[in-house]
Amino acid sequence: MALDLDPAMLFENHPDAMWIYDLDSLRFLAVNDAAIQRYGYSRDEFLAMTVRDIRPQEDVPRLLENIKLVSPGLDQAGTWRHRLKSGELIFVDISSHLLEYQGRQAELVSARDLTRQRELERERRRLLEREQQLRRTAEASAQHFQGLFESVPGNFLVLSPLDFMIVAVSDAYLASTMTRREDLKGRLLRDVLPVNPADPQADGPRKLLASLEQVKTSGVTDIMAVQRHPVQRPDHRAAAMRSATGVRSIPRCGDPRASWSTSFIALRT
């Protein structure tokens, strides 16, 4: 069954603000309920105004130029600023179509409010810029921390909490163990300090991994007693390093289990 829709009813009840204005005088000839509600003018106030009256003064020349170029058919005029009765500026997307109304050459205009959409987009850009700034700050802080950490006196490693992969090494540790940073970073601690079956006294690696697992589970610092760790010299001769090992959790993002620092204080080799 076909619906018999009244065009006037569609105009009056359309959710977007709509009006018809005279192309010669620019006066409003008709406005719908959405326009009255959004712009704050009564119907009588609208009908005593022209389309210039809802524009900021600086936008009127552009409006007049646009009206000069009006042609038959649908016109997608783009985004414009409109001023409400309260003085507030809003952004609207304008679509229009020429028609004859009450014997006058007129234009039917639909103004879709984009103000909230633009505010959300502006907020999204602000948050994105903030995120980028925080990322730049974090990267700069990380580089600063890395420089400080690598030059700090003392033999230190920073390990990933998931698998105890080495993510940072102090210069002092490299000197004590006669290793290079590029040979250690990215490797698992158990591969760097393997258990030596031929030296039962060098059980430091096994005890160290057990202590790390304990700290990972509990989130509580564990200070180990002096341990014996095998160290592979560059000439491939085995050596042993005695160390007092402190397994300490470093809080990150409020979670004390997020990253770990293991200190190795070499006593003698």
Per-residue pLDDT of the chain (269 residues; tens, 9 = 90+): 444 556 778 888 899 999 999 999 999 999 999 999 999 999 999 999 999 999 999 999 999 999 988 888 888 889 999 999 999 999 999 999 999 998 999 999 999 999 998 888 889 989 888 888 888 877 777 777 777 777 877 778 888 878 888 888 888 888 877 888 898 889 998 888 766 666 666 677 788 888 888 888 887 777 777 776 666 655 555 454 544 444 444 444 444 444 555 554 443 34
Which residue type sits at 148? L
Element (H, E) at 164: none
Assess if residue 2 is contained within a domain: no
Looking at the structure, tell me whether residues 180 and 234 fall in a common domain. yes
Looking at the structure, tell me whether residues 91 and 147 fall in a common domain. no
Residue-number span of the structural domain to which 72 is assigned? 7-118
CA atoms within 13 A of residue 63's CA, in its CB half-sphere: 17
Domain boundary among 118, 148, 175: 118
SS3 118: helix
pLDDT of residue 89: 95
Assess if residue 18 is contained within a domain: yes
Looking at the structure, tell me whether residues 77 and 169 fall in a common domain. no
Domain containing 64 — which CATH number?
Answer: 3.30.450.20
Looking at the structure, tell me whether residues 110 and 205 fall in a common domain. no
Computed on alpha carbons and rounded to an integer, the radius of gyration of the chain in Å comes to: 37
Assess if residue 130 is contained within a domain: no
Looking at the structure, tell me whether residues 21 and 112 fall in a common domain. yes
Domain boundary among 118, 150, 179: 118
Looking at the structure, tell me whether residues 99 and 179 fall in a common domain. no
Domains contained in the chain, number: 2
- Scan for tokens 């003018």, then name that residue: 41
Looking at the structure, tell me whether residues 92 and 176 fall in a common domain. no
Looking at the structure, tell me whether residues 106 and 172 fall in a common domain. no
Assess if residue 86 is contained within a domain: yes
Q: How far apart are CA 191 and CA 228, in angstroms?
A: 16
Q: How far apart are CA 186 and CA 183, in angstroms?
A: 8
Q: How far apart are CA 89 and CA 226, in angstroms?
A: 73
pLDDT of residue 269: 40
Q: Which of 44, 27, 46, 31 is nearest to 106 (CA)?
A: 27
